[in-house]
Amino acid sequence: MAVETDLALLESPWLELAPDAMIVVDPSGRLARVNALAEHLFGYPPGTLAGRPLEELIPTRLRERHRHHFKRYSVQPYFRLTGAGVSLWALRRDGSEFSAEISLNPLHTRSGIFTVAMIRDVSEHGRARQALERTATDLEQQLLERNAALLEVNAELRQQIRERIQTEIALREAEAEYRQLVENQPDLICRFLPDTTLTFVNAAYAQFFGKTAQELIGQRFIAFLSATEQAAVEAQLAAFALAAPSRQYEHQTLRADGAARWHLWHDFALFDERGKVTHFQSVGVDITSRKQAEEALFEEKERAQVTLHSIGDAVITTDRASIVQYLNPVAEALTGWPSAEARGRPLSEVFNIIDEQSREAAPDPVARCLQQGRIVGLANHTILISRSGKEYDIDDSAAPIRGWDGQVLGAVLVFHDITASRQLARQLAHDATHDPLTGLVNRAEFEKRLERALSSAQHYGARHALCYLDLDQFKRVNDLAGHAAGDELLKQVNSLLAGMFRERDTLARIGGDEFGLLLDNCPVDRAYIIAEAVVGAVRDYRFHWEGNTYQIGVSIGLVPITAQATSTAELLAQADIACYAAKGLGRNQVHIYQQADRESSLRHSETLGAAGLRDALEKNRFRLYYQPIVSLSEREQPRRYEVLLRVAQQPHSNQDGGLVLPATFIPAAERYGLMGAIDRWVIEAAFRDYAQGAGRTNARISINLSGNSLGDQGLLDFIELQLARYSFSPAQVCFEITETAAIHNLSRAAQLMTALKRRGCQLALDDFGSGLSSFHYLKTLPVDYLKIDGSFIKDINNNPSDCALVAAINQMSHTLGLQTIAEYTHNQTIVERLRELGVDYAQGYFFGKPAPWKQPS
């Protein structure tokens, strides 16, 4: 049987020690090694024979048969001793042939089967024998004369015997070195018979099973296996054949100490000349670490898969060429592509995005991510078009996936559906600039557009016109038919006027029954004609309500917008005065503002308001009223009250003893710069009330701060002084600032609110939702409460949009850690709906009307 050896042994000098010509043939049929006797025998100069094909040493006529024989021999190698079998013909370099006797010794190595062959020139040996016979005859005749020659021949024979012995010793040493090499291998090596009887095991094999080699050799290893494993092994061994002499497989085996180890086994079958298996040789390489790494990788991949299937965001992964590799279920739902169907497609085919405004294809974030090697986000207003054509507002980011060497392997795209929140933002942005009843532009937005028109007049000489419209007889309709009729009348007036102006003109509702009209690039004479047409249309209009018909009118004040105007406030004041003058001329008229109008037609109420407010401050005619703010939860909460302001009528007034509400005097106070002083009066008076009795109830109070006070550099010091003066705990007071005032004075509002927060006061954003253009401001302002604007609350049970907005604001507030307060809570059904939505507090007539401190509800 062939012995597996290391190729290094072929480099040993024993070939040169051989007494015969020796060659070593590699698995491809080339001469790997030759000794000097072989080079001499075949007539090749030293060093020129090795590396040549073996068939160059065979006559041409016999080479085809040699190739066939060598092919069979490669599959089923065998030994041949010198003298066994027939002699063969060999070819020298000079083309001469000779009869050769060849011995074969196959060596199994890791590189394949190498064959060591010893070659003798038989024809030369024949001549030598004949000569020897003649010599023997001559010796018989001349024994005495040739004794010396005989002795010389005997000495030569003894030398050959010694050399052969040395060769055999070298072979035994090589075999011992090979055995030592196998014994020292850390891999498990064994040899066994077809019935699984072990004939050899190395030290590592024996140590693994906790036995000695002697204890294992002679035993059938199949006896150690379960019945199922025995059947599998028998089937595997039976499958070996010349065409399939080896196999490789992985198997887990228990070590002697009970530890389970994985091995990669290589089994080799050895065949005899008839093709029958005589032995098996098996080598097991420990791959436990690799299997553990594979299992850990599988577990990590499984966790990643479960995570990707569970998260609420959509995830798409691609390779470095932006070819889709995976979609999680959310991505499948949004794109309309199953992951299996999308795999292998370009990302642009699956992830179809456009710009909302231009409707053009949006930049591919993954392409930019792969190109720049960094995280890339989508532009705002990006829309995903699904496979079905459905559109989603999305927000996303793409990040590169890198290998262990830092090279980009692909990208992961994470995006989520923000359709609802973006629609809410659009709705809130629209509501911030439009009147909820009529859908017209509101006063704040109208003033912005007026500011732009004034700027173009001042810088470029453009000519525009401003009209101030005040409906006549509107109050009569409101009083006789009710507020619902008044609201419907305003809507119908809007519809009546909608088609009378150009698209670039702006019609806005700037008061209860007051409208503003901005005519862009319109000279005053043309504006006058348009205004007259409006007067005529309203005059001819009839309002029908519940079987009754009402006639209304409109008075219009007209102001040309020129470079001489100094501010939008001045323009609005002039238009207001002109409108007042039109009413004084008999209503249903258009009046162009004249400078004389200011002196003769200033509104009586506003003149009284300015003087009256100063007098109220000087004579302490302001009154504080308190309205309860009630918790809607079942938990016990401290009582809260909002501080509201009233002005007592002057003694000589026709309404002695009456109270003026804030809506009447606040505009004048803001116009004449009196709000800062009024705010300070309210703060001191509220703290004083608290010290005189409110504190004993452990109540908390909310005080409104006007937009004018946000820029008051001394307000913070004043508040601290009053807190100390009345021993008032900052935690007991909450300052309310309207959303509109906070946004218009964002930097100053943030500074003041942060300072108040740092001192322990609480903060609320009032009228939230009335002027919001972005939720971003909530991250800037350190508020504790959001007071939801009453316009969303009062009709919450009848208007699904209002209900949805309140729910969204409430949910967003809670997400940000804020509590909510609903205004205008006037009945039980509103309270129940607010509780369903999870609103924290409510304020309104249902819980109590504003009253002085001694008698608040």
User: Given this model, what pLDDT does residue 654 score?
Assistant: 45
Q: Are residues 672 and 759 in the same domain?
A: yes
Q: Are residues 595 and 629 in the same domain?
A: no
Is 83 a domain residue? yes
Q: Are residues 744 and 643 in the same domain?
A: yes
Q: Are residues 287 and 316 in the same domain?
A: no
Residue 482 has φ and ψ, to the nearest 5°, of 100, 170
Is 765 a domain residue? yes
User: Given this model, what pLDDT does residue 722 score?
Assistant: 92
Residue where one domain finishes, among candidates 130, 148, 179: 179
Is 348 a domain residue? yes
Is 857 a domain residue? no
Is 612 a domain residue? no
Domain that holds residue 219: 188-291
Q: Are residues 452 and 587 in the same domain?
A: yes
Report the sign of the C-alpha dihedral through residues 265, 271, 277, 279, in that order: negative
Is 435 a domain residue? no
Is 51 a domain residue? yes
Q: Are residues 817 and 767 in the same domain?
A: yes
Q: Are residues 474 and 502 in the same domain?
A: yes
User: Given this model, what pLDDT does residue 85 score?
Assistant: 47
Cα separation, 73 vs 86, whole angstroms? 17
pLDDT one-digit tens code per residue, 36-48 = 899 999 999 998 9
Using a 10 angstrom Cβ sphere, with 0-12 exposed, 13-18 middle and 19 or more buried, the burial of residue 645 is: buried
Q: How many residues does the chain have?
A: 857
What is the CATH number for 375? 3.30.450.20
Q: Are residues 593 and 638 in the same domain?
A: no
Cα angle for residues 278, 282, 285 (degrees, 5° grid): 175
What is the CATH number for 510? 3.30.70.270
Residues pairing with 277 in the sheet: 271
Q: Can you tell me which residue has the tokens 């010794």?
A: 105
Residue where one domain finishes, among candidates 122, 155, 179: 179
Q: Are residues 323 and 217 in the same domain?
A: no
User: Given this model, what pLDDT does residue 332 score?
Assistant: 92
Please count the other Cβ atoms lying within 10 Å of the Cβ belonging to residue 582: 28
Could you say which residues of the chain have pLDDT below 50? 1-4, 85, 601-608, 653-656, 695, 771-774, 857
Is 615 a domain residue? no
Cα separation, 184 vs 697, whole angstroms? 92
How many structural domains compose the chain? Answer: 5
Residues pairing with 583 in the sheet: none
What is the DSSP-derived secondary structure letter of residue 364? -
User: Given this model, what pLDDT does residue 592 score?
Assistant: 92
Q: Are residues 683 and 775 in the same domain?
A: yes
What is the DSSP-derived secondary structure letter of residue 9? G
Cα separation, 316 vs 336, whole angstroms? 13
Residue where one domain finishes, among candidates 291, 319, 336: 291
pTM: 0.38
Q: Please list the alpha-helical segments (H only) found in 461-506.
A: 474-481, 483-498
| Pair 410, 319: CB distance under 8 Å | yes
| Pair 119, 82: CB distance under 8 Å | no
Cα dihedral 137, 139, 141, 144, rounded to 10, equals 180
| Pair 120, 37: CB distance under 8 Å | no
What is the DSSP-derived secondary structure letter of residue 522? -
Q: Are residues 448 and 523 in the same domain?
A: yes
User: Given this model, what pLDDT does residue 512 score?
Assistant: 79
Residue 595: C-alpha distances to residues 334, 465, 584, 606, 850 (Å):
63, 16, 16, 18, 43
Cα separation, 60 vs 176, whole angstroms? 41
Report the sign of the C-alpha dihedral through residues 559, 561, 565, 568, in that order: positive
Cα separation, 765 vs 707, whole angstroms? 12
Q: Are residues 370 and 456 in the same domain?
A: no
- Determine if residue 105 is left, alpha or beta; phi over 0 gives left, psi from -120 to 50 gives alpha, anything else beta: beta
Cβ neighbors of 805 (< 8 A, separation 6 or more) are 424, 427, 428, 431, 769, 792
Q: Helix 800-815 crosses helix 828-837 at what angle (to 10 degrees)?
A: 50
